[in-house]
Structure 1
Amino acid sequence: MSHDPDDLDPNQPRKPRARRDADPGGRPPRKPPEHPPRAGYGESVFRPSPGGDLDPVRPGSSQSARKSGDPTSRIEAVEPGPKWYERILFGRVSSGQLSQFCRQFASYLNAGVDYDRALSSLGRQFQGTGLGPVLERMRGRIRAGSTLEEATAPEKAVFGSIFQSMIRVGEARGGVPETLRMLSKSFESRQRLIRQARSAMIYPAIVLFLASAVACLMAIFILPMFASLLADISKKSQLPWASRGLMAFSGFISSGGWWILPLALFGVPFGLVQWYKTSVGKNILDRILLRIPVFGSILRKLDVSRFARTLASLLDAGVDIGGSIELTAQALAMTPMRNAVESTRLPVMQGRELSAALAPTRQFGPDVIAILESGEETGKLPETLAHLADEYEEQVAFMVKNLGHLIQPLLVIIIAGFVLFIILAVFLPYIQLITSLAGG
C-alpha cells in the first residue's frame, strides 16, 4: 500500500500542504481585477483591439449561436415592428418618451425588478402611445428566452442603432441600468433641442404663411382692378416700369395663370422635401443649408453637439472606437458632417488620433479639434466630449431663441417691400399724369 510522502506518523504534526495556485516562492496568487479597465480613463481610447471584433459576443446569445453554427440554440425574433397601423393610431415614438422609458426602466432594474415585470409595468404606463405595443412585443421576446439586446433588435426603427449597440455592451459588462441612464440623458438632450427649435420657428412660420396667402389673394382679386385703371392711363402716357410689371403679372393671373401661386406656395416646398429624401438631393441641399447665414451656423452647431454627445455616450458605455465612430456618423443629420466623421474611422483604427484625422475635413471648428486633442492627451475623452456637447447645446439654445427675433423684422421688411411695390405701381402713373398736365 503506497503512502503519500507528505503523510507522517499520526502522532507527529502534519506539514501544511503548499497551495497549488501559489507561486513557487510562496507568494499568494494575484487576484484578477474585479472590473476591466474602461476605455478613455487609464489610456487613450484610440487603440483598437487586436482581434478587431467590433461587437462583443456573449456566451449563450444569438450571436454566439450563429457563430458556432448551432441552429437549435438560436432564438428567433417575434413579430418585428412597429406596424403601419400603429403609426396611424399612436403616431411616432418621441425622444421624450424614449428618455422617460430609459430612466424608469433603469430605476426598476436598480430596485431588483426583473425584465418581465418591469416591461409589464412600463407597458401599462405607456399604453395608448406608440411605445406601448413595442414594449409588449419586447416582453414577449424576453419571456421566450431572449436577452434584452435580442428583444430590442427588431424594434431598431424605434430605438435606433446607438441604443442597440450600447445595450449590447451594457449586457456584456453587466451595467444595463447605467447604460439606460446615459441613453435617457441623450434622448432628453435631443428632445430639448427639438422643442427649442420648434418654439422659435412657430411664430415666423405662421406669419410667413399668412403673408404668402394674403399676397396670393391680392394678386388674384385686387391687382386686376388696379390693372384696369392703369390700362386707361397707359393710353395717354407711357407707364413706369413698376406699373408695367404689375400689369403684366395681373394679365398673366387673369388669363389662367393663377394656379401658379398655390403651386409655388405648396408644391415647391413639397417637391424640395421629396428631393431632400433622395441621397443626391440631400447632399446638395445640405451643402446649401450650411452656407446660409445664421441658419447654417445653427445646423452645424447642432451636428457638433450631436457628434460630441453620441460619441461620449458610446465610449463611456464601452463601445469600441471603430463602432463608436460609425454609429456617431449615422446619428448626424448633415451629409458633409457625416462624411467627415466616417472618413476618420479607418485612420483611427490604424492608430491615428481622432483630432488629427478630423482636422483635414474642415467641417469642425478649431475649438472642437483643440478640445478633442485635450481629451486624448488627458485620457478623458468621454468627459471632454460631454462638456463640449453641453457648451454647444447652450450656444444652439441661445441662437434659436434669438432666431425668432431676427426673422420677425425680416418678414416685416419683405411684406413692406411688397406693399411698397404695389403703391409705386399704382400711384406713380397718377403722379406722372398730374405732372405732365401741370407742365402742359
Structure 2
Amino acid sequence: KRTLARIKDLIVEGNSFAHALGRFPGIFPPIYINMVRAGETSGTLEIVLERLAEITEKQQALANRIQAALAYPLFMLFFGAVVLFVLLAYIVPTITAIFTDMKQVLPTPTRVLIFLSGFFKTYWWTLLLLLGGSAVAARQFRKTDKGRHWSDKVTLRLPVFGNLARKLAVARFSRTLGSLLENGVSLLTALEIVKNIVGNVLISEAVTQTAEEVSKGKALWLSLSESKVFPALSIQMVQVGEQSGELEKMLYKVADVFENEVETTILRLTAYLEPLMILVMGAIVGFIVLSICLPIFEMNQLIR
C-alpha cells in the first residue's frame, strides 16, 4: 500500500508512470518499466498493462501446475524417508538386539541391517547437521558469480532435467521478448532486458552475445543459432517469424510450444516416479523383513 501511495504521489507530481515504477526496482522488474514506458510513448498503455498481466498470469499458472505435479512425489519421498528413519533408528534395533544377544553367526543381510541401524541410531544428528550444512553451503556458493555459473552449467547438462531447465528459460525468453517487441521496444533494448530474466547465467550470456551480433546487423535467428544454447526448433521458428515479418507472434508460439513440452514432460516423469518410489520403498522394507526373518529360519532349522 505504501508503494502504491508513493507511486500515486510521484505521478501527481508530474512524473511518468514508468518513472514512478522505476523508483522501486526491487518490486517492478525492468520488463515492467520498459513496457510501460513504451506504452506511454505510443499511447497504448492500457494494452501494455493487459499484456503484462497476461504474461504474469501465464508464468504463474505454469509454475502452479508444475508445483501441483511435484507435490505428491515430494510428499511420498518425505514420508518414505521418515518411515525409513523410524524403522532403522528405533524399531529394527529392538528386534536385532535379540539376535546379537544370542551370539550366533548371523546372515550377511542381517549384519548389514544391524550396522545400518546402529549407524543411524548413533549418528542421525550428525547426518542431519551434514545435510543442513551442505544445503546452506551450496546456497551461499550459488550466490557467488562463480557458483551460479557452475551450477547453471551443471543444470543444463543434467539428463532430462537439464533439457527441462533449458526449455523453461527459452519459453520465458520468447514470451518476454515477444511482448516487448509487440509493445514498441526496440530489439536491442528488448534483448538487454530479457537477458536478466531468463534465469540461467549461460543462457543470459548467450543473449548478450546475440545482442552484440544483432547490433552488427545479423539476423536474430542466426545470432541465436551461433550461441549453441537455444534448441534448434526455437531457432527455426524465430527464422520463420523474421522472414515472414511476424516475429512477435512466432515468439509467442515458441513460448507456448516449450511451456507445453515442459508441462507434459513433468507430468510424464511424475507418472513414472510414483510407482518407482513405491518399488524402492518396497525393496527396502523387503530387505529389512528378510534380514530379520533369516536368523529366525536358521534357528528353526537348528531346533529341528
> Which stretch shows the higher mean deviation, 172-181 or 269-278?
269-278
Moved more, 395-404 or 184-193: 395-404
Q: Report the equivalent of 2:105.
A: 237
- Letter aligned with residue 331 of structure 1: I
Q: Deviations over 1:365-386 (max 9, x none)?
A: 2111111111121222111111
The whole-number CA distance in structure 2 between the counterparts of 1:205 and 1:269 is: 17
Name the CA distance, whole Å, in 1 between partners of 2:99 and 2:150.
44
Match in the other structure for 2:113:
246
In 1, the alpha carbon distance for the partners of 2:128 and 2:52 equals: 44
Match of 1:389 among 243, 255, 265: 255
Q: 1:156 aligns to what SS in structure 2?
A: coil
Describe how 1:318-397 pairs up with structure 2 within 5 A.
318-397=184-263
Relative to structure 1, is the Cα distance of residues 278 and 425 closer, same or farther in structure 2, using a 3 angstrom cutoff? Answer: farther
Contact 1:321 1:349 (C-alpha < 8 Å) held by counterparts: no
The equivalent residue for 2:74 is 205
Q: Work out whether residues 210 and 227 of structure 2, in 8 Å CA contact, stay in contact via their aligned partners in 1.
A: no
Contact 2:18–2:37 at 8 Å: present in 1 too? yes
Give the structure 2 partner of residue 161 of structure 1. Answer: 30
Alpha carbons 2:174, 2:255 under 8 Å: kept:
yes
**Residues matched between the structures, number:** 304
Residue segments in structure 1 that go unaligned for 5+ positions in a row: 1-131
216-225 vs 189-198, which moves further = 216-225
Is 1:305 the counterpart of 2:171 in the alignment? Answer: yes
Alignment partners' CA distance in 2, 1:330 and 1:336: 11
Instruction: Confirm or deny: 8 A CA contact 1:200 1:403 kept in the other structure.
Output: no
Return the match for 1:406 from 264, 272, 283.
Answer: 272
Contact 2:77 2:277 in 1 (8 A): yes
1:261 and 1:212 mapped to 2: Cα distance?
13
* TM, length-normalised to structure 2: 0.89
Query: Is residue 287–residue 336 contact of structure 1 (8 Å, CA) maintained in 2?
Result: yes
- Distance between the aligned counterparts of 1:266 and 1:224, measured in 2? 26
Deviation at 1:266, TM superposition (A): 5.0
Partner of 1:425: 291
Q: Which residue of 2 aligns with 1:186?
A: 55
Q: Max radius of gyration: which structure? A: 1
One-letter code aligned to 2:8: R
Bigger mean CA offset, 137-146 vs 173-182: 173-182
Contact 1:208 1:411 in 2 (8 A): yes
1:304-361 Cα deviation digits (max 9, x unpaired): 1111101101111222222211211111112332222222111111111122122133
CA distance in 2, matches of 1:272, 1:416: 32
Asked whether the 8 Å contact 1:286–1:336 carries over to 2, the reply is yes
Using the TM superposition, give the Cα deviation of residue 275 of structure 1 relative to its aligned residue in structure 2, in angstroms.
3.6
User: Does structure 1 conserve the Cα–Cα contact (< 8 Å) formed by 2:89 and 2:118?
Assistant: no
Q: Using the alignment, how far apart are the partners of 1:370 and 1:169 within structure 2? A: 28
The answer on 1:283 being equivalent to 2:149 is: yes
Cα contact 1:230–1:247 (8 A) shared by 2: no
Q: State the TM-score, normalizing by the size of structure 1.
A: 0.63
Equivalent residue number for residue 221 of structure 1: 90
Separation in 1 of the partners of 2:11 and 2:35? 18
| Residues in 2 aligned to 1:291 and 1:433: alpha-carbon distance in whole angstroms | 53
Alignment of structure 1 residues 91-102 onto 2, 5 Å: none
Q: More helix per residue: 1 or 2?
A: 2
Distance 1:406 1:297, change over 3 A: farther
Give the C-alpha shift of residue 163 in structure 1: 0.7
Helix, strand or coil at the partner of 1:169: helix
Distance 1:329 1:224, change over 3 A: same
Cα gap change, 1:229 to 1:336, in 2 (>3 Å)? farther
Hey, what's the Cα distance between the residues in 2 that align with 1:421 and 1:289?
A: 34
SS in 1 for 2:199: coil
- Structure 1 residue 219: deviation in Å? 2.2
2:3 corresponds to: 134
- Distance (whole Å) between structure 2 residues aligned to residue 225 and residue 284 of structure 1: 46
Name the amino acid aligned to 2:3: V
What RMSD, in angstroms, separates the aligned Cα atoms of the two structures?
Answer: 2.4
Provide the C-alpha distance between the structure 2 equivalents of 1:133 and 1:415, rounded to a whole number of angstroms.
51
Deviation readout 1:185-242 (Å, 9 max, x if unpaired): 2111111111111111221222211211222222221122233134245x332531x3
- Which blocks of at least 5 consecutive residues in structure 2 are unaligned? none
Q: 2-side partners of 1:282 and 1:322: how far apart?
A: 25
Partner secondary structure for residue 352 of structure 1: coil
Report if the CA contact (8 A) 1:322-1:349 is conserved.
yes
**More moved, 262-271 vs 416-425:** 262-271
Question: Counterpart of 1:150?
Answer: 19
CA distance in 1, matches of 2:193, 2:23: 18
Distance 1:192 1:282 in 2: 26
**Alpha-carbon offset, residue 246 of structure 1:** 2.0
> 1:364 is paired with a residue of what secondary structure?
coil
Structure 1 counterpart SS, 2:195: helix
| Matches of 1:230 and 1:136, distance apart in 2 | 73
Letter in 1 for 2:11: I
Aligned-partner Cα distance in 1 for 2:2–2:22 = 15
Q: Residues of 1 paired with 2:290 and 2:158: CA distance?
A: 31
Residues 181, 299 of structure 1: alpha-carbon distance in 2 compared, 3 angstrom cutoff: same
